[in-house]
Structures are given as C-alpha cells and as structure tokens.
Amino acid sequence: MKALRQLGFLKLSLRPDGSPDEDHRVLALFRNRAELKKAYGGLQEETFRLKDLIKQQEAATQRVQEMLAALEGRLGAAETAYPALVFYQLRRLWQSGRELISQFIADLVRQQEERERRARLAQHNRGQFARRETGESQLRVAQGLHEQATAQLAELEKQRAALTRLWHYFKRRALQQRIAVAEAAVLSAGVALGQAQLGVEGIAAEGTPEFQGLSLPARRAINLAAIAFAEVLCLRLAPLKTPMLTLAREATARRETPDDYGSPRECVLLMGHIARAHQLLSAPAGISEEIKARSERLQRVARYRGEADTSPAANSLAFTEDDVLPGATPGADATRLPNVLAEDTWDLFRILLR
C-alpha cells in the first residue's frame, strides 16, 4: 500500500484540455471571420462598380454640358440660331411621326387584346361547360350504379339473415359467395363514384386561364397596319416642295447642328414648311380610309422569312411602277413611294411588335 501511495504522482488527467463551449466559440469566430471577409469582398466590388458608374455619369454629364454650351453659343448669334431652330424642329417632326405610329400601335394592341381575351375566355367557358356537363353526367351514372350495387348487397344480406336453420347451410354458403361478389361490386362502384366526384370538383375549381398575349396573326396584322400608317404619313408629306422626310431623317441621324439650312430668311421659310408638315401628319380627316387602302395592298404582297416572324421581309413590300407619289410625272423618272420598312422610316423597326 505504501508503494502504491508513492506512485500517486503518476495520476493521469483524462479531462479534455478545453471545454466544449470554448470549442464552439472558436469555430463560431472562424466562421464569422470568413463571412466578414466574404462580405467585405462583396462591398469592395460594389464600391468599384459604383465608382465606375460615377465616372461614366460624370463623363455623360460633361458631354451634355458641352452640348448645352455649344447650343447656347449657336443661339447667341442670329446666323447660327436659325439653323439650330430648324435642326431641332426637324428632329421633332421625325419624333412626332414616330409617336403617332407608336400610339396607333398601342391603340390597336389594346383593342385586339380585349377582343382576344374575351374570345379566349368565352372559349374556356364553353369548354368548361361541356366538361362540367360530361362530368355531372358521369357522376349521375356512377351514383346510380353505386346505389344499385348497394341495394343488391342489402338484398343478399337480408336473404342470408333469413336462412337461420341448420338445413340452410348450403344455401347460406352459396349466398355468401354472391355477397362477396356484391361487396366487390359496391367497392368498385364507390371508387368510380369518388373519381367522378373529384372530377366534377376539379372542373368547378378551375380558374380563369391567364392571357398569354396576342396571337401571331394579330401581331402581324397590327404591324402591317402600322407600316400602312407610316406610308400614309409619307404620302401626306409628299405635296410639300421641300423633301421634309429626308431632312428630318438626316437631322435625327446627326448629333450636332449643321449650318446647311441657308440664310435666316430661308430658315424661317423652312420652319413654316415644318409647321405645315406637323399639321398634315396630325390631320385626322380620312386617315382610316387611307390606312385601310394601304393595308389591303400590304396584305397581298407581304411575305415572311420565318413562320414565327411578325414583321414582313422588307423586299416583299417593294413598290411597282404604278406606285408613285401623288403629282409626280409618270415614267422612268417618277418619284417612287418610299419603302418605309426598308428605310426604317419613323424608326419602324424599334416600334413594331415582336
């Protein structure tokens, strides 16, 4: 015993070095550190992105300020102020034509969407009514079969209950087989009845289908009407002696004001023509008949490259020798009607439906 007590200094500590709570805290600190580093990296990337956006915005603001300064300088002198007025009025003329066509398309889309939505809703209601009639008919048949099977089973059980004598043993045995068949029939009829009830409930729970957008024929028809409207606008500008459409297109393609509109007097005359052009474009008289006439021609000649295309091929709308501007001299030198789709007049490609 004394020897064992002398070896007491060899006691081993079997307890862990650290408590479990301390280990969890250390792991949590490592996880938090990793998450903080990740969040810090994301914030740095966002900071760099915002700085780039600020630089881009500063550059855009600087360009706008330079343009405003140049415009202010041009408006400060009569020789350059009048061409600037003509330039921006021509751009506005082009924009007015585009806005008229865009509004025309929006009106047609709204009307056609209402028609197609109502038509599809009516079609859905008709289909739902037919399905409900079929389901209710099947439910009535299933109910009748279930009632018939139940009544037959009850009758057989009643007959079995009456066979209580000893000599009825063989009759009861034969009747028991018939009862088993009747029970199976009742079970099958119950399953069919449950399925029929679920079918009727499912039809009743059907919601209104979501409108999936205009159909392809409708979008094609609207685009053809928009192209016809663009042609009508071009025809309305044709009587003007000044090539207003060409000037408006050139002004829209430029960023800076040119000096080739002539003297102040010539610029004033040109601005009068521009005002007249605005009146011609916005005049509502006869617009529907003109669009209808041009649309009928487009429907005859329009061809599409793909089955899913909504805009016709531009070359299919090319005009024949008989299609000349009103008042033009017939013959080889006659001024042809412009192919508004090929020339992207009024920015048609941007506003036509896809």
Q: 337 lies in a domain? A: yes
**Non-local CB neighbours of 146 within 8 Å, separated by 6+ positions:** 186, 189, 190, 192, 193
- Say whether both 191 and 330 belong to one domain: no
Strand partners of residue 324 = 336
Q: 8 lies in a domain? A: no
Q: Report the distance separating Cα 1 and Cα 7, nearest Å.
A: 10
- Say whether both 164 and 115 belong to one domain: no
Q: 102 lies in a domain? A: yes
Mean pLDDT, the chain, whole residue set? 82
CA-based nearest residue to 94, from 272, 270, 346, 282:
346
Q: Is a pLDDT exceeding 90 seen at residue 41?
A: no
Last residue of a domain, one of 204, 233, 253: 204
The pair of structure tokens assigned to 328 is 């033009």
Q: 336 lies in a domain? A: yes
pLDDT tens per residue across span 87-107: 889 999 999 999 999 999 999
Q: 184 lies in a domain? A: yes
- Say whether both 143 and 189 belong to one domain: yes
- Say whether both 287 and 342 belong to one domain: yes
Q: Which pLDDT value is given to residue 17?
A: 53
Q: Which pLDDT value is given to residue 10?
A: 46
pLDDT tens per residue across span 122-172: 888 888 888 888 888 888 888 888 888 888 888 888 877 777 777 777 777
Last residue of a domain, one of 183, 204, 225: 204
- Say whether both 315 and 251 belong to one domain: yes
- Say whether both 157 and 240 belong to one domain: no
Q: 251 lies in a domain? A: yes
Q: Which pLDDT value is given to residue 275?
A: 92
Q: Report the distance separating Cα 29 and Cα 33, nearest Å.
A: 6
- Say whether both 192 and 127 belong to one domain: yes
Q: 37 lies in a domain? A: no
Last residue of a domain, one of 204, 224, 248: 204
Q: Which pLDDT value is given to residue 202?
A: 85
Containing structural domain, residue 318? 81-122+215-351
pLDDT, average across residues 108-116: 93
Q: Using DSSP, state whether 324 is helix, strand or coil.
A: strand
Q: Which pLDDT value is given to residue 20?
A: 64
Give the angle subtended at the CA of 97 by the CAs of 78 and 326, to the nearest 5°.
95
Q: Which pLDDT value is given to residue 93?
A: 93
Q: Which pLDDT value is given to residue 74?
A: 66
pLDDT tens per residue across span 207-241: 788 888 899 999 999 999 999 999 999 888 888 88
* Cβ pair 345, 249 in contact under 8 A: yes
- Say whether both 102 and 149 belong to one domain: no
- Say whether both 251 and 300 belong to one domain: yes
Q: Which amino acid, one-letter code, is at 114?
A: E
Q: 5 lies in a domain? A: no
* Cβ pair 341, 207 in contact under 8 A: no
Q: How many domains are there within the chain? A: 2
pLDDT, average across residues 280-303: 88
Q: Is a pLDDT exceeding 50 seen at residue 334?
A: no
Give the global pTM.
0.68
- Say whether both 237 and 263 belong to one domain: yes
* Cβ pair 244, 237 in contact under 8 A: yes
Strand partners of residue 47 = none
Q: Which pLDDT value is given to residue 18?
A: 52
- Say whether both 200 and 277 belong to one domain: no
Q: Which pLDDT value is given to residue 327?
A: 44
Q: Which pLDDT value is given to residue 76?
A: 66
- Say whether both 199 and 280 belong to one domain: no
Q: Report the distance separating Cα 41 and Cα 55, nearest Å.
A: 21
Helices (H), the chain: 2-6, 20-75, 78-162, 169-204, 216-237, 244-253, 264-282, 287-301, 348-351
